[in-house]
Amino acid sequence: MSESRILVRHSGFVNLKRIVDARDGVLCIMEKDRDIPFEIKRVYYITNLDCMASLRGKHAHKKLQQIIFCISGSFILSLDDGVTKQDIYMHHDNQGVILGPELWHTMHDFSNGCVILVAASDYYDESDYIRDYDQFLAYIRQKQQEVRHDTSM
């Protein structure tokens, strides 16, 4: 499981400032423009993930940009850009992973008390989701053909 480097396209790590002092507790800070490479329009969180067997995500977005954090506990984030696949062990409360567009992502193997926090670039829109894996592969093939066509002109 590679953690030091993100290998898939449309992703990357985001490291937040983490403050620990003599008191109990950890303070992590996410600042507009400084930490997040897009304007945040929505924040959501996922709790009660006490089941190792549960599975979330299993989709890609067409345009939406997001950053996913595991602010408590741990889980495995599986990323797939259609060519490269990578599993990331999410367990640092201050380290987020960019979920750019056209990136199939699945969250699984949640620890007890796992809490996921996501910052998103846009409001919820079901038409932005690709929830079928074969459709995802066809979508990115079509996008790549469009890019090749544009660059050859």
> Residue numbers of the site for ligand T46 (CB under 6 A)?
42, 44, 46, 56-57, 66, 68, 99, 118, 124
Distance CA 126, CA 61 (A): 9
Closest separation between CB of residue 54 and ligand T46, Å? 10
Distance CA 95, CA 111 (A): 17
- Which residue's CB atom is positioned nearest to ligand T46? 124
Is 59 tagged catalytic?
yes
Closest separation between CB of residue 108 and ligand T46, Å? 11
Contact 110, 73 (CB under 8 A): yes
Q: Is the dihedral of CA 91, 1, 83, 78 positive or negative?
A: negative
Beta carbon nearer to ligand T46, 16 or 130: 130
Closest separation between CB of residue 79 and ligand T46, Å? 11
Distance CA 89, CA 4 (A): 11
Catalytic residue numbers read 59
